[in-house]
Homo-oligomer: A and B are copies of this chain.
Amino acid sequence: MRLSRYFLPVLKETPADAQIASHRLMLRAGMIRQQSAGIYSWLPLGYRVLRRIEQIVHEEQQRAGHIPLLMPTLQSADLWRESGRYDDYGEEMLRITDRHGRDMLYGPTNEEMITDIFRAHVTSYKDLPLTLYHIQWKFRDEIRPRFGVMRGREFLMKDGYNFDLTKEDALHAYNRHLVSYLRTYERMGLQAIPMRADSGPIGGDDTHEFLVLAETGESEVFYDSKVTDIRLGEREIDYDSHAECRAVMEEFTSLYARTDETHDEAVFNEIPEERRRSARGIEVGQIFYFGTKYSEPMGATVVTQSGERVPVHMGSHGIGVSRLLGALIEANHDENGIIWPEGVTPFHCGIVNLKQGDAEADAACEDLYKALKNKGLEPLYDDREERAGAKFATMDLIGLPWRITVGPRGLKNGVVELTSRRTGESEELPPETAVARVAEIYAGL
């Protein structure tokens, strides 16, 4: 993309009402615009990151064998009356009346609807196990929306639902989700720690939240510092293997790590003192096993091999897709702006032309632009007639992990400059070496 033809409305001033870094930086970098309280437009740069995160979530869900579909944003109130949640949900549910006077709502979650789809179409144990998921806009009418996309009212969420014949199978689905979530966050360059949590309005016996440690997090968390040393890494895990998924679950959840809702001071104090940590965290996902809580009242049953009709065991599993942008920025920024991890960056590499209009510099930038595109990478070429300082400031603000700087002086020596946004370190290289280096960094991501 050439910046002269793009729409990147960066702000010079820091917006006064934005209290946390991610909110400020998303506004300043031209990623979002508030349209109403807690409701945002995703400007082109923000939209690119949102799509990238969505793509990683899709890939990891499908790798785990989960099947995508798409449920609508608006739901009938009748469905929620069946489960009993229509009256329970409170004022966070946005209730709507259509022109015929029918009660509707903007879905805050989809347990009822997915159970309705299941009961309409599945009747036999042979069709199990089944996990369906979607990535769709949700609405929760927060009384005081704040922190930008971190606590918005209209937000994008991945929610998935497993249907299993037995509790044991459903717990495997729970563990499988835990593994796939760990992989999802790691691909984004994010450490999200599974912590024992409270079940809230979804209900359920077993539940873990995934928390990213950050000073601005809204949850207080308590954990054994050893838990932050564990990584999934590159290991191969067979998502069909109960034992393999359970082993990962146990490895990641046996050390103490809890939110304040489930925190137990006595148990916490059994950890050696030097490993006890209390901190703040941002919730970016949650998994639940809730058994037959919805299948029983809503009649989601299957016939077993022995001819018996039984309600299915279910769970639901969510990733806060739009909120992840906030969490990623909270965990990756400095005083000059955002520092995107390579896995989610909106453009792979910036190109800064120090002397726009200089024939040699322009040609070198065009060549770099094409060479990067030929490698399957998407560069952002700052081809504006601006002074170098302004171009660097924009690149630092929007946080592309790599920048290639092209100027007449370097070109005389046959080199350009490759700079890491994270470390600030630069290296002078021939243009083709810089391209190869960037391609290598992104290979396999």
Contacts and interface: CB of A to CB of B under 8 A. Distances in A.
A143 interface: yes
A96 B95 CA distance: 8
Given A35-B72, A94-B96, A96-B96, A7 B67 contact: yes
A268 interface: no
Main secondary structure of the interface of A (DSSP, over half): mixed
A47 B35 contact: no
B154 A73 contact: yes
A117 to B, nearest CB: 6
A72 B33 CA distance: 10
A11 to B, nearest CB: 9
Given A70-B42, A74-B36, A30 B99 contact: no
Interface string A57-77: 000000001011111111110
A73 B130 CA distance: 30
Interface in A189-210: none
Interface string A113-155: 1001100111000010010101001010101000000000110
Given A96-B96, A98-B141, A121-B9, A113 B72 contact: no
Given A96-B96, A117-B33, A44 B72 contact: no
Tally of this chain's copies:
2
B6 A102 contact: no
A388 interface: no
Contacts of A227: none
A262 interface: no
Contact of A99 (B7, B91, B134): B91
A67 B44 contact: yes
A41 B71 contact: yes
B116 A75 contact: no
A40 interface: yes
Given A33-B120, A116-B35, A137 B68 contact: no
Interface string A1-30: 000011101000000000000000000001
A39 interface: yes
Contact of A72 (B70, B143, B154): B154
Interface in A373-389: none
Contact of A47 (B68, B121, B122): B68
Contacts of A143: 99
Contacts of A132: 7, 44
A43 interface: yes
A70 B143 CA distance: 24
Nearest to A75: B35
Contact of A154 (B74, B116, B139): B74
B137 A75 contact: no
B70 A36 contact: no
Given A35-B75, A35-B113, A41-B70, 19 more contacts: A6-B67, A7-B69, A7-B127, A35-B71, A35-B76, A35-B116, A36-B76, A36-B102, A39-B76, A41-B113, A42-B69, A43-B69, A43-B117, A44-B69, A44-B132, A47-B68, A74-B139, A96-B96, A99-B143
29 contacts: A6-B67, A7-B121, A7-B127, A30-B121, A33-B121, A35-B71, A35-B76, A35-B79, A36-B75, A36-B104, A41-B70, A41-B71, A41-B72, A41-B117, A43-B69, A44-B67, A44-B69, A47-B68, A47-B134, A72-B137, A72-B154, A73-B154, A74-B106, A74-B154, A94-B98, A96-B96, A96-B106, A99-B143, A137-B137
